[in-house]
Chains A and B, each alone.
Chain A
């Protein structure tokens, strides 16, 4: 029992925000693996982020020692003229903080 619990680790509720620091609307698609009674399948969701705004991309129980890029299976940014994007697949671009309840929050900035 102790060994089993040790393997499970801790899964705090973790929030992933995507921020847009430009004056243009930016779009991206994130794919996640979902589990159902008929097996697992990949689901993609499109997001629009308004200028100088952010969007909540996912809130999930997330293993505390996992890489922040493990919350998605794919993350595709739709290009926008003259905007240079940061790489969402680079874990160091997800900045960690904690919310008022002490749960982890990761923020990725699409572009500045």
Chain B
């Protein structure tokens, strides 16, 4: 093959794959998205992201008027990220609850290529990756997020760390990467590029749930499980909600909630996953309800 022909082939390849050309660290293999009422939700590396496009000229006044849900006023819009190279404002908020758990929310408001406005939120616990935020903002602005990362709101299957799991019409999204199947269990997960990040994400959820008032922890153990084919350790917590009146308990009618916290390598990435079910759910002889049976086995 001569050099000229090789060059032509390379040009054709990269022209056909602009999105993947920008996906040097495999972001699109870890990223999941859903769209609901004009708002895009994403999840990757334990970070929850939203993006929302709106009409109107990019200005502080239009931003505060249009994106009311973010509760920012004009005085909040004083910081500009000059490295982005296009008009923008950003703002960061941090809240500690419970002790030691810092929820960082960064807001970006940018001018889109077609001179409209796009608002972003990045929510991460005990971390913030400004470089990733800039990269993601650029990808959305350039319309370079590949459509394949999006799942339909009306689900019949989920993309679980690059494995399609059919769920039929029994389940619904409770949030991005958060699936609830009435009687069959619930799970939320994130796909990470490194193991430590996955473990920390699961630990944060464990600490947050342990701090919640309302239920009583009756059991807190470590068990061996096989998660997506890999033997690993899971934290298992059983909460007793006997006598507790809350919307959560009232809906299910259950008395105890069992939750498993797992971080494990899955198909060249790492997954953090929290799975739960009520005592009155449909529990298979495996000891798990059908949804959890899809990804985990007890040893």
Query: Of A57-65, A75-83, A88-96, A104-112, which stretch is located at the interface?
Result: A75-83
The CA of A76 and the CA of B172, in the complex, are separated in Å by 14
Tell me which residues across on chain B come within 8 A of A46, comparing CB atoms.
Answer: 183-184, 281-282
Q: How large is the interface on A (under 10, 10 to 19, 20 to 34, 35 or more residues)?
A: 10 to 19
- B230 at the A interface (CB under 8 A): no
- B94 at the A interface (CB under 8 A): no
Asked if B170 contacts A76 (CB within 8 A), the reply is yes
Asked if A29 contacts B285 (CB within 8 A), the reply is no
Tell me which residues across on chain A come within 8 A of B184, comparing CB atoms.
Answer: 27, 46, 78
Q: Please provide the chain B residues from 167 to 219 with a CB less than 8 Å away from any CB of chain A in the complex.
A: 167-170, 181-184
What does DSSP make chain B's interface, helix, strand, loop or mixed?
A: loop
Tell me which residues across on chain B come within 8 A of A50, comparing CB atoms.
Answer: 285
Asked if A79 contacts B282 (CB within 8 A), the reply is no
- A48 at the B interface (CB under 8 A): yes
Among A48, A76, A78, A79, chain B packs the most CB atoms within 10 A around the CB of A78
* Contact pick for B284, options A29, A48, A79, A81, CB 8 Å: A48
In the assembled complex, how far is the CB of residue A93 from the closest CB belonging to chain B, in whole angstroms? Answer: 17
Asked if B166 contacts A79 (CB within 8 A), the reply is yes
- B87 at the A interface (CB under 8 A): no
Tell me which residues across on chain B come within 8 A of A81, comparing CB atoms.
Answer: 294
Asked if B286 contacts A79 (CB within 8 A), the reply is no
- B254 at the A interface (CB under 8 A): no
6 A-B residue pairings within 8 Å (CB atoms):
A46-B184, A46-B281, A46-B282, A48-B282, A48-B290, A76-B169
Instruction: List residues of B whose CB falls within 8 A of some A CB.
Output: 166-170, 181-184, 281-286, 290, 293-294
Instruction: List residues of A whose CB falls within 8 A of some B CB.
Output: 25, 27, 29, 44, 46-48, 50, 76-79, 81
